Each structure stands twice: as structure tokens, then as C-alpha cells.
């Protein structure tokens, strides 16, 4: 396993270099720049700013300079938040986005797992039909639509939660629910399908024939095999929750990374956009690696090669 992890990490370095190169080229060739505005700058002022951010250098030299700084852990200075480096912005926003994403993912796993198990055990009943209908609606609705509905219901119609902000438990409930609801629906359908497949296996019939209680059969024997599709889904789901938080954080005014990512794209903050792309790419790769390791631990038939 150690050799497998080492080899995957070496591939991660190559993958991140390719992502860095493609992102740098795309950002550099797009017309315009971070200092373009309706009000024209004096030529001397513009020249000094471009010299500070090395925008006056040839593209190959800028690429090598940026790559060298990135390899040393320096993502540069934000061209919009000029008093902060990209590293400082990430250090401030990542714990907030991480806490929101972890809460949303935990809620999605708990709700989706419970709904999937109950739906599979009660297959064909009105309860199964109702749960899968709700799950289908949850998959179809994007999180910003759910956020708008939740604001109308629980902020304006029934004022139970604040509309925005960060710092209290009540301010976490709505954004975490809106962020995790579509993934809870996916998890419910995956667990139901996996549970139905496992419940039809011979070893489950053997356990039932031996007279084991239904709860023991489900949670000790069937659930482990039913979790395999869920484990495969958790890697992309975690990355999706982190990237999906961009919209949710904007709607609920949460000071996480999502606000900076959106502003970096709209305001042409090149260093910030590059830093965010590399951060999310790294998180996605590491989550997929953890999923592969967990899959091998849950299913002895899977070998890490």
C-alpha cells in the first residue's frame, strides 16, 4: 500500500503541473487584464503596476517565475486584494469552507444512508416510492434553487433562521442543508441500489436461513457490501460540495473561499484564480486517492495495483 500511495502522489505532481500549465496559458491569452477598467490609468502608473506584478515580462519568463514561486509554496499577491497574498486568503477562507462542506457532507451521508436503507428494506411500499420521489427532485434541483426556496420559507415566511452571516449554529443550518441536499439524494439512490443488489446474494440468504435477526443481517452483513458504491461516490461528492459552496457562500454571504473564487473570475484576479484552481485540484486528487484506499479495505477482492 505504501508503494501504491507513493506512486499515486508522484502522478499527482505531474497532474498538478499539467493543470498549472493549462490554467496559466488560458489566463494569459484571454484579452484584457486585472487592471483594465473604465477609467484610464496614466501610462507611468500602469507601467509601474505591470512591473510590480511582472506583467511586462515575456510569457515564457512569467511562466517560469510563477512555476518557481508555486513550487516553493508562494502563490503570489492578489491583484485585487493587494494587502493580502493568495496564501493568506486561502488560510483565512479554507477553514470556513471546510467546516461548511464537512457539515453538509456529514448531513448528506446520514440522511442519504438512512433513506437508502429504509427504502431498500421497504421496497415497493408507499414509503419507498415517497423517498425515491423526494430523492429524484433533490437531484434535479441545483443548490442555488434550494437556497432560494429555503430563504423564502424559513427566513421571510417563517423566520426561524438568519438570512446570512457566519459564526453561530443557526447561521450554519440553511447553507449546510442547501449544499448537502442534492448529495443526500444521490447517496439515498446509490445505497438503495447497492442494498438491493447485496440482499439478493447467496450469503445473505444463508444468513437469513440460519435464523439471524433482520437487523443483524442488514447492518452486519449487507451494509458493508452496499457501501461500496457510496465510497466510490464520496470522492467526487466531496469535491462537488467544495466547488458547489461557491454559489451557496455567495447567497448566504459566508466569508469562505467561494466568494474569492467568484470574484477572481469576474475581476480577472489571475493569481487568486490560479491559486484556487490548484487548491481544488489538489483536494480532488487526494479525495480520490482516499476513496481508492477505502474501497480496497471494504472489499478484499480489490487489489491495489
Q: Report how far apart the first and last C-alpha atoms of the chain are (Å, whole number).
A: 9
* Cell digits of residue 231: 465510497
Per mean pLDDT, which range of 20-29, 64-73, 223-232, 273-282 is the poorest?
223-232
* Cell digits of residue 100: 461548511
For residue 42, being part of any structural domain is answered with no
- The Cα–Cα gap between 293 and 124 comes to 35
Task: Tell me the residue range of the domain where 201 lies.
Answer: 94-298
Using CA atoms, how far residue 29 sits from 18, 24, 162, 220, in Å, is: 17, 9, 43, 56
For residue 251, being part of any structural domain is answered with yes
Of residues 147, 134, 136, the one with CA closest to residue 174: 147
For residue 22, being part of any structural domain is answered with no
pLDDT at 293 over 60: yes
273: domain CATH number?
1.10.3720.10
Model pLDDT for residues 126-145, shown as the tens digit of each residue: 888 888 888 888 888 887 78
What is the percent of the chain where pLDDT is above 90? 1
pLDDT at 41 over 80: no
For residue 188, being part of any structural domain is answered with yes
pLDDT at 38 over 60: no
- The Cα–Cα gap between 194 and 227 comes to 7
- The Cα–Cα gap between 288 and 250 comes to 27
For residue 17, being part of any structural domain is answered with no
- The Cα–Cα gap between 246 and 241 comes to 9
For residue 174, being part of any structural domain is answered with yes
The gap from C-alpha 32 to its chain's centroid, in whole angstroms, comes to 30
Model pLDDT for residues 26-36, shown as the tens digit of each residue: 877 776 666 66
Average pLDDT, the chain: 79
Phi and psi dihedrals of 257, rounded to 5? -75, -25
* Cell digits of residue 191: 445505497
Using CA atoms, how far residue 138 sits from 30, 143, 149, 178, 185, in Å, is: 37, 9, 13, 10, 6
For residue 77, being part of any structural domain is answered with no
- The Cα–Cα gap between 78 and 80 comes to 5
Q: How many domains does the chain have?
A: 1
Mean pLDDT of 248-258: 81
In this structure, how many other beta carbons lie within 10 angstroms of the beta carbon of residue 247?
17
Mean pLDDT of 19-27: 86
pLDDT at 16 over 70: yes
pLDDT on residue 46: 65
pLDDT on residue 124: 80
pLDDT at 234 over 60: yes
pLDDT at 218 over 80: no
pLDDT at 71 over 80: yes
For residue 64, being part of any structural domain is answered with no
pLDDT on residue 18: 92
- The Cα–Cα gap between 179 and 264 comes to 22
Residues in Cβ contact with 152 at an 8 Å cutoff, skipping those fewer than 6 apart: none
Mean pLDDT of 183-196: 85
pLDDT on residue 34: 60
Determine which helix (DSSP H) or strand (DSSP E) holds 20, and give its type and residue range: helix 2-29
Amino acid at each position: 500500500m505504501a508503494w501504491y500511495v507513493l506512486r499515486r502522489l508522484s502522478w499527482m505532481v505531474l497532474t498538478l503541473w499539467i493543470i498549472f500549465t493549462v490554467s496559466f496559458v488560458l489566463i494569459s491569452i484571454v484579452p484584457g487584464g486585472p487592471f483594465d477598467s473604465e477609467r484610464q490609468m496614466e501610462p507611468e502608473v500602469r507601467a509601474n503596476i505591470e512591473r510590480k506584478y511582472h506583467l511586462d515580462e515575456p510569457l515564457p519568463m512569467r511562466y517560469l517565475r510563477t512555476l518557481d514561486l508555486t513550487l516553493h509554496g508562494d502563490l503570489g499577491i492578489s491583484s485585487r486584494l493587494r494587502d493580502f497574498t493568495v496564501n493568506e486568503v486561502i488560510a483565512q477562507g479554507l477553514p470556513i469552507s471546510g467546516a461548511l462542506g464537512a457539515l453538509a457532507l456529514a448531513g448528506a451521508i446520514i440522511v442519504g444512508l438512512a433513506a437508502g436503507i429504509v427504502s431498500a428494506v421497504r421496497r415497493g411500499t408507499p414509503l419507498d416510492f415517497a423517498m425515491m420521489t423526494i430523492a429524484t427532485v433533490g437531484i434535479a434541483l441545483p443548490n442555488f434553487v434550494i437556497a432560494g426556496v429555503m430563504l423564502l420559507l424559513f427566513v421571510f415566511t417563517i423566520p426561524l433562521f438568519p438570512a446570512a452571516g457566519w459564526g453561530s449554529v443557526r447561521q450554519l443550518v440553511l447553507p449546510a442543508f442547501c449544499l448537502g441536499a442534492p448529495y443526500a439524494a444521490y447517496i439515498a439512490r446509490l445505497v438503495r441500489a447497492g442494498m438491493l443488489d447485496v440482499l439478493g446474494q447467496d450469503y445473505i440468504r444463508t444468513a437469513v436461513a440460519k435464523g439471524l435477526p433482520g437487523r443483524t443481517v442488514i447492518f452486519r452483513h449487507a451494509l458493508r457490501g452496499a457501501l461500496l458504491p457510496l465510497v466510490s461516490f464520496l470522492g467526487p461528492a466531496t469535491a462537488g460540495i467544495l466547488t458547489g459552496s461557491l454559489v451557496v457562500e455567495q447567497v448566504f454571504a459566508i466569508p469562505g473561499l467561494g466568494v474569492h473564487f467568484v470574484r477572481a473570475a469576474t475581476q480577472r484576479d489571475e493569481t487568486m484564480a490560479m491559486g484556487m484552481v490548484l487548491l481544488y485540484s489538489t483536494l480532488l486528487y487526494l479525495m480520490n486517492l482516499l476513496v481508492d484506499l477505502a474501497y480496497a479495505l471494504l472489499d478484499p477482492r480489490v487489489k491495489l495495483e
